[in-house]
Amino acid sequence: MKRPIFFRRPGPWFLALALLALLLLPGIAMAETMKVTQPNQSLYPDPDFAGTPVVPVPVGAEVTVLQQSGDWYQVEYQGQSGWLNRQAFPAPAAGSKFNLPGLLTGAPVKETSSDEVALAGKGFTPEVESSYKQKHPEAKYAEVDQVEAQQVAAAKLQAFITEGGLKP
Amino acid sequence: MRSHLRRLAILLLVALPGLWGCAVATGFLPSAVQPAASIAATGATKAAQASREISDSEEYYVGRAVAARILSTYPLYRNPAVTEYVNEVGQTVARKSPRPNTYKGYHFAVLDSDEINAFACPGGTIFITRGLLATCASEDELAAVLAHEVTHVVDKDGINSISKARWTEVWTSMGAEAARQYGGVAGNLVNLFEGSIDDVFKALVVNGYSRSAEYAADAGSVKISTAAGYDPGALARVLAKIQAKEKPGAGGFYKTHPPANERLAKVKGAAPGVAPPAAEVTRTQRFQKIVKT
């Protein structure tokens, strides 16, 4: 009796199944720890910037990633669960060593700051700004720093929005 | 042949956990295929680098330099209560914009000038002159002006005014950059940065953005105002006031923006006036108390 075709040639089927598993398994990813490297980040109740931030997440904070949805990561930080945008993590460094997920997704990889070649490769950086400042002492950077220091606390903004009958 | 395939399949299954570990170490595999530009940005070649857009942090440093240059022309209006209030209104609209969170956030400040003008620096620092602030009669009108400027940041109109030739040079020069040092930093890059600041400053202060960019910012303002709960008809009201104050041959804002009557016609079509809700009265009262006293 002739065996069905996939029993006759198990090799290709086995190979196809293995490839399928390779593509699907990371989707059911286990918890992973990532370090926040970008300033001005907060945990949000939903994957949406319009919500009220749960808690600010400082640079250097380690978060446990539970799942990813588009540009958002559901994470645990200091016992609180919330959503962190992918911009909390560094942009991929050009010329970094081979990295499978990075190659596919542009996922965060660590940057090198000491290497001059890498520095030039990053484009406009604080170092470029520093040299520009030396060339342009008339530029009012101290005042820009003052403008940037102006913050509106999340609770104060909420009170302002509520008082004005605006949309939360 | 068959045994080769079987061996390869077994090898894949054995290697799977290792490959998976590599995948989760730095991120997750995509749920959909990424655009070619995103893949190119992570590649190792300089040619691939040239195809990437300016990053959020680079936009921020350009914006800081543009802001520093504007502040060397216009002094800051140092009134903490007004500055705080303008920031509260600004943050209220920025959070409802399509780009609510820039690299280091949005910041709003008032320039001590009677001129009617406002500037959106790349990355989210937004200036409004005392003259334009005084032209607004309510919080909703101020929100409309700030939402217009936020839309310029959302649309990256400032950063897009860097000449394409200069931007290409930024990326093509980077390969040989390490050989040419200037003050510890790649020198040509500093010159290109300087040129980029010139491009953006000229667009903001001298020539203005394209008419289509301004109309898009007006449309964006109406959308953001609506999403935030402000009166979408407020932009039309403030534009009418700006138009009324226009003098023949006026420069500044009047030179860098399309005629207010043309903008007004478009905006009125998008957001016909509605009766102000009760909450608008409360908002106008707080505006009058902080700004007009």
DSSP H/E element including A125 = none
Q: What is the pLDDT of residue A66?
A: 87
Average pLDDT over residues B12-23: 43
pLDDT higher at A106 or B164 = B164
Per-residue pLDDT, B252: 66
pTM: 0.65
Q: Return d(Cα A135, Cα A141) in angstroms, integer.
A: 13
According to DSSP, residue A97 is labeled P
Other Cβ atoms closer than 10 A to A55: 14
Place of tokens 């089927």: A13
Question: Residue B182's pLDDT band (boundaries 50, 70, 90)?
Answer: very low
Which comes out higher in pLDDT, residue A44 or A108? A44
- Decide if A114 touches B, using CB distance below 8 A: no
User: Confidence band (pLDDT; 50, 70, 90) for B271?
Assistant: low
pLDDT for residue A99: 39
Q: What is the pLDDT of residue B180?
A: 46
Give ipTM to 2 decimals: 0.75
Q: Give mean pLDDT, residues A15-35.
A: 60
Q: A10 contacts in B (CB within 8 Å)?
A: 2, 6
The pLDDT tens digits for A139-164 are 999 999 999 999 999 999 999 999 99
Residue B139: predicted pLDDT: 97
Average pLDDT over residues B253-263: 72
Provide the H-helix boundaries in A42-140: 100-105, 116-121, 126-135
- Whether residue A103 lies within 8 A of chain B, CB to CB, comes out as yes
Q: Tens of pLDDT along B70-104?
A: 999 999 999 999 999 999 999 999 999 999 989 99
Q: Using alpha carbons only, how large is chain B's radius of gyration in Å?
A: 24
**Three-class DSSP category at A96:** coil
Average the pLDDT over each of A16-20, B193-197, B230-234, B259-263 and give the range with the smallest value.
Answer: A16-20
Residues of A with Cβ-Cβ distance to B41 under 8 angstroms: 92, 94, 106
Q: How many Cβ atoms sit within 10 Å of the Cβ of residue B184?
A: 11
**Least CA distance to A71: which residue of chain B?**
B30
Q: How many A-B residue pairs are in contact by the CB < 8 A criterion?
A: 265
> Is B288's pLDDT higher than 50?
yes
Backbone φ, ψ for residue B198 (5° rounding): -60, -45
Ramachandran class of B229: left when φ > 0, alpha when ψ lies in -120 to 50, beta otherwise: left
Option in B9, B109, B194 nearest A15 (CB): B9
Structure tokens at B177: 């950059």
- How high is the pLDDT of residue B17? 44
The confidence score (pLDDT) of residue B48 equals 44
Is A105–B29 a contact, with Cβ atoms under 8 angstroms apart?
Answer: yes
With a CB cutoff of 8 Å and minimum separation 6, the contacts of B51 are: B37, B40, B41
Q: What is the pLDDT of residue A136?
A: 93
Q: Which residue of A has its CA nearest to B104?
A: A40
- Is A100 in contact with A63 (CB distance < 8 Å)? no
